[in-house]
């Protein structure tokens, strides 16, 4: 079973429109340094499962291998916008799972097309989705938001994007779960004028230490973190690194 970080960027992505900072200039020269909307996927013998659907190339990706199901962390645009076009496809329906959110996004609930929105998942209740067992855990965000914990054959994985800190019950669960690999929101540099929806770097590193993960990957990143890394101002502890689009782990 493979776990892939299919997107590692914040809402603006990298490069940022109109920005000529070193990180954005590098990404325009070399697409390997671009960051698309934060997302992930699981590739198993049972099928391909997506976590979030905000990437602009979602249709092309799904044409290469149709997903068996889609797990949504929440209904902000950069995590679901790809569904607006995907839904008008043809063929077998695609189950969509996520937290309870009566607003949803745009008119997706009203006109789902081939998307089969299933009953909302329940926090801390493991569910089997076509052969994949996942545990939804609540995150701290401005919309109802889930992270997802996966028990693979080789590794336990926690995917924790779009959060500022962690709810107490989620942190307790993760301390017991002790993921081998955790991907966590680290949108802002320390001291950056952060909003109330995302971790800054210090928060993310402290949470990774608190839950006891061996490998910690920082995701939902913006161009300022990339600039700091390019300029040698970003020192990360051993076993911690910045996510890259397309990075893959065997789990």
Convert the pLDDT of each residue in 172-221 to its tens digit: 999 999 999 999 999 999 988 767 799 999 999 999 999 999 999 999 99
pLDDT tens digits, one per residue of 98-116? 999 999 999 999 999 999 9
pLDDT for position 46: 86
**pTM, whole model, 2 decimals?**
0.96
pLDDT at 153: 83
Q: Which residues of the chain have pLDDT under 70?
A: 194
Nearest Cα neighbor of 58 from 115, 18, 106, 2 is 115
**pLDDT at residue 98, rounded to an integer:** 97
CA distances from 98 to 51, 102, 138 (A): 10, 11, 11
The gap from C-alpha 27 to its chain's centroid, in whole angstroms, comes to 20
**Residue 152 has what pLDDT?**
84
Residue 112's pLDDT is: 98
List domains and CATH numbers for the chain. Answer: 2-250 (3.60.15.10)
pLDDT of residue 128: 87
Residues 6+ apart with CB under 8 A from 24: 14, 15, 16, 223
Is 102 within 8 Å of 143 (Cβ atoms)?
A: no
Helical (H) or strand (E) element with 156 = strand 156-160
List phi, psi (to 5°) of 185.
-60, 125
């Amino acid at each position: 079973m493979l776990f892939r970080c299919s997107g590692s960027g914040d809402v603006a992505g990298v490069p940022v429109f109109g920005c000529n900072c070193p990180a954005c200039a590098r990404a325009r020269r070399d697409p390997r340094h671009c960051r698309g909307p934060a997302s992930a996927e699981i590739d198993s013998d049972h099928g391909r499962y997506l976590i979030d659907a905000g990437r602009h190339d979602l249709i092309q990706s799904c044409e290469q291998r149709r997903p068996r199901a889609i797990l949504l962390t929440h209904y902000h645009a950069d995590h679901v916008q790809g569904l607006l076009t995907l839904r008008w496809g043809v063929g077998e329906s695609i189950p969509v799972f996520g937290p309870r959110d009566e607003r949803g996004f745009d008119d997706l609930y009203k006109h789902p097309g081939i998307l089969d929105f299933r009953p909302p998942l329940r926090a801390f209740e493991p569910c089997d989705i076509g052969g994949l067992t996942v545990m939804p855990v609540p995150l701290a965000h401005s919309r109802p938001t889930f992270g997802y914990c996966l028990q693979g054959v080789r590794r336990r994985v926690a995917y924790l994007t779009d959060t500022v800190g962690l709810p107490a019950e989620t942190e307790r669960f993760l301390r017991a779960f002790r993921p081998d690999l955790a991907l966590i929101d680290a949108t802002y540099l320390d001291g950056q004028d952060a909003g109330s929806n995302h971790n800054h770097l210090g928060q993310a590193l402290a949470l990774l230490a608190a839950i006891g993960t061996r490998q910690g990957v920082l995701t939902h990143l913006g161009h300022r973190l990339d600039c700091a890394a390019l300029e040698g101002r970003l020192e990360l502890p051993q076993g911690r690194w910045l996510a890259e689009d397309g990075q893959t782990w065997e789990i």
